[in-house]
A and B are shown apart, each in its own frame.
Chain A
Amino acid sequence: MHPAPSVIIFTTLSGLGFGLLAFLGLDPTPPTGWAAFAFFFVGYALSVGGLLASAFHLAHPERALLAFSQWRTSWLSREAVVAVAALSVTGIYAAALIFVGFHINWLGWIGAALTLLAVFTTSMIYAQLATVPRWKTPLTPLLFLSFSITGGALLSGRVDLSIGLLVFTALMQILWWVRGDRAFAQSGTTLATATGLGDGGTLRSLAPPHSSPNYLMREFVHVVGRRHARKLRVISLLLMAVLPIGLLALPFSHGFAILAVLSHVAGVATSRWLFFAEAEHVVGLYYGMR
């Protein structure tokens, strides 16, 4: 799959922002006043910034309101509805903390549930696609939720919890990669099932339909990016988990904590780039490519 920067930025940042908002909602003693403003500002900047990045990658953003209508069948529509609900509920909760210093406990819980639900709906957009066997697994929502919760713990400054979650997320990521590497073969879709010509003998693509690449090949066949996939996986794990754990294990300082967050975000973004670049769409089979 083509790793579109807008989608990588959106899913990485919004996951992180929603994670932070979830922790702020669950906090029994949340910050108030200006401190609350700072925390919620970061949470909203990340999640709304991500949503805007995704809206601008649409060819017709002026029709975006229609995307709230098909929640009965479409995970993308559900994402839009849940994300707006999460931001609205959390917005009221945040306003009460910032301006009145009043903690509406139950509203925070609802907001946290909705923000995590928003991350879940994002992940299901990918996990629902039978056409991309690497994505079609319950591990995909688990991975997205681990990233979001871990990022939220880091951003809200929970050091001990963060270390545990970083270890968990790294293991989750490794599990997702190991399963993903076998997924295409296990899906059972081959050039033989794609053409129905397998009984006749060995198949190969003799001539593509056109002499130069088309939309389908640009969107679904991304071979170049996989060349350094192994190295990038190691880099991603180092940045996402190993380095932040090391920084957090040192005596606490705000400088190290910020470095840990930045390193984690860079690692997650690398992982998200691989999430798309390594994903093989079954339509590539028709072109003799993956």
Chain B
Amino acid sequence: MTDLPTETTRKLGLVIDLDTCVGCHACAISCKGWNTENYGAPLSDQAPYGDAPSGTFLNRIHSYEVLPEDGPAQTVHFPKSCLHCENAPCVTVCPTGASYKRAEDGIVLVNEDACIGCGLCAWACPYGAREMDAAEGVMKKCTLCVDRIYNENLPEEDRTPACVRTCPSGARHFGDLGDPESDVSQLVEKRGGFDLMPEQGTAPVNKYLPPRSRDSWNEESVLAPFLEPVAEDTRGFLSWLDRALDKLPGGSD
């Protein structure tokens, strides 16, 4: 049923650290790999070796430039996938009941056998988290690796979403955001985690951690006193050259 559960027992989701993400796209690659080989229809590619390759991805990494009023521009890499919203607009618009949000852990999933491929859920999602697979004609989205996190055939350290497991910079964290004592909730609390597009009223479960502030042009370096020039005057050949050039007409800078 496309009614949203009034409450979910747990709120499983991701916390993405925009400070430590290096924009390597490893999460997108491991996601594509796992979700092509396992649960549901594979994530197809169209003309992967052609002029305009295109394909289905459940996770995409944007890069933004933040230009402060003073100081250097900062590049922020921005991975974006389904945020498993508490008030998921993609679920309620589904005409067939293919889209649903699980009451036990809050994961938003698609029953591909019931999907007619109308695409309305992708229209309703403000984050671009749902993509219609061009080969299968069904809607694909992040499953939070539901086939990994509860999978007892995997070693315990692998029972986490593929993107989190693979991230080389530790920028992705997985856990229960409904439990205020969980590691992820503590991290959000400590670092000032925020929602994307809060004004859309979707109440996303996934949170983003802001980049920490960087050095500015004006800041005095603590090492500066130790790096003062040793010699103020030039001597020897360079000194002679300096004086000789000064004597030539045209002045100096």
Residues of A whose CB lies within 8 Å of any CB of B are 1, 58-61, 63-64, 66-67, 69-70, 72-77, 80, 125, 128-132, 187-189, 191, 193-197, 199-216, 219-220, 281-283, 286-287
Mark B residues whose CB is within 8 Å of A. Answer: 1-3, 18, 25, 28, 52-57, 60-69, 73-76, 78, 80, 89, 91-98, 114-120, 122-128, 131-132, 134, 136-138, 194-201, 208, 210-211
A59–B55 Cα distance when bound, in Å, is: 17
Chain B residues near A200 (CB, 8 Å)?
66, 68, 74, 210-211
- Contacts A129-B124, A212-B54, A214-B57 supplied; 13 other A-B pairs, CB < 8 Å: A1-B123, A58-B117, A59-B116, A75-B93, A77-B95, A131-B200, A187-B199, A196-B195, A197-B18, A197-B66, A207-B62, A215-B131, A219-B119
Point out the residue from B62, B68, B114, B200 that lies within 8 Å of A130, measured CB to CB. B200
Chain A residues lying within 8 Å of B1, measured Cβ to Cβ, are: 70, 72
Are the C-beta atoms of A58 and B95 separated by less than 8 Å? no
CB-CB nearest in chain A for B131: A215
Chain B residue numbers with a CB within 8 Å of A67 are 95-96, 116, 118
Q: Which A residues are CB-close (under 8 A) to B96?
A: 63, 66-67, 69-70, 77
- Cβ contact within 8 Å between B117 and A216: no
10 pairs from A and B in contact (CB 8 Å cutoff): A60-B117, A70-B97, A74-B2, A76-B94, A131-B123, A193-B196, A199-B210, A203-B66, A214-B60, A283-B125
- With A60-B116, A208-B62 in contact, is A73–B210 under 8 Å at CB? no
Q: Are A132 and B194 in contact (CB-based, < 8 A)?
A: no
**Partner among B66, B117, B199 whose Cβ is within 8 Å of the Cβ of A59:** B117
- Give chain A nearest CB distance to B213 CB in angstroms: 8
A205 with B132: CB separation less than 8 A:
no
